[in-house]
Amino acid sequence: MIIEEDIKLDFKDVLIRPKRSTLSSRREVDLNRTYRFKYSKLEWTGIPIMAANMDGVGTWDMARELAKQKLFTCLVKSYNIYDWNHQSKSIDYNHFAISVGTGDFDKLDIVMNSHPEIKFICIDVANGYSEHFAAFVEKVRNAYPDKTIIAGNVVTADMTQELILRGADIVKVGIGPGSVCTTRVQTGVGYPQLSAIIECSDAAHGLNGHIIADGGCACPGDVAKAFGAGADFVMLGGMFAGHDEGGGEVKDGKVTFYGMSSDTAMDKHHGGVAEYRSSEGRTVSIPHKGQIKNTVLDLLGGIRSTCTYVGASTLKQLSKCTTFIRVNRQINDVFLK
């Protein structure tokens, strides 16, 4: 048993300190980024915010709408070859990824052979620390040397480096911070998300790789903090759930949203929770939010405002302009009571 004494931080543990700025309007802030990925050599330009590959979030309709705003979508794993043949031609291949698990190589091969124009592959598992997962990333890299590979999830610098060395262009960072994830409660495993972003981004950038901050963002300010901490992309689940584009039945003004390791997801996609495992997600009812466009405009407006507070004229400059202030949570708790 080892105890690490270093302080680790979550989004709620910090605020961003304002700085003198020459910007006079949010309109002056450019949120587009251009990245060139390590292995695929693909150059990508857009606003680096992603819809998570979750039911009710990573849908075709969501991908079509977000692409109009230059945002990205990781599509759900459950789409089959029929879905790809009938839906994929209607969306921008620069702004979505096919998502697969480690047991989906045959499906991936069929889809990629039918749609070689696909540019991004997201290899998604809850626990990215197994040798089996790292080997699968390497297998996909060898099979598709010119594709941009997203792989995760991990939360530490060493495994971030390992996945990049195995062939990942982008590493997905986050274990347990999501609004409908119960991994930390069910297993006791996790890592404060802000510190994970800081440490994993530093490790990835040293190898010319990139990271996605996946989970834990509940408001535009959290997204700004993730970018300020060094994230190249920020992935959103709960913030993008509950919209028209996510599908799902609206009942009494509510929409059902659930984690992809929840009982609901397991029943839907796998016929139930296997005897050897437990649910690590929850199912909740959230307000129906209407069109995603309105949420995106509010989100981007918040990030632009952050940039004006710290003098960053571009999103790229935000991390260089960010100084985090640790919040005394004990004092805050007293005031909140």
The residues carrying an active-site annotation are 181, 183
Q: By the 8 A CB rule, do 14 and 229 touch? A: no
**Chain position carrying tokens 């029929």:** 82
Render 37-90 in DSSP notation, one character per residue.
Answer: -TTT--EEEE--EEE-SSTTTS-HHHHHHHHHTT-EEE--TT--HHHHHHHGGG
Number of Cβ within 10 Å of residue 80's Cβ equals: 11
In whole angstroms, what is the distance from residue 285 CA to residue 307 CA? 33
In whole angstroms, what is the distance from residue 168 CA to residue 38 CA? 8
Q: Give 23's Cβ-side CA count (13 Å radius).
A: 20
For CA atoms 74, 75, 81, 84, the dihedral sign is: negative
In whole angstroms, what is the distance from residue 75 CA to residue 268 CA? 17
Q: Which residues 6+ apart lie within 8 Å of 256 measured at CB? A: 56, 248, 249, 264, 283, 284, 285, 286
CA distances from 322 to 15, 225, 234, 316 (A): 10, 8, 16, 11
- Helical H runs in the chain? 60-68, 81-87, 105-114, 131-143, 157-166, 183-187, 193-205, 220-228, 263-270, 292-310, 315-321, 329-336
| Pair of tokens at residue 178 | 């999501």
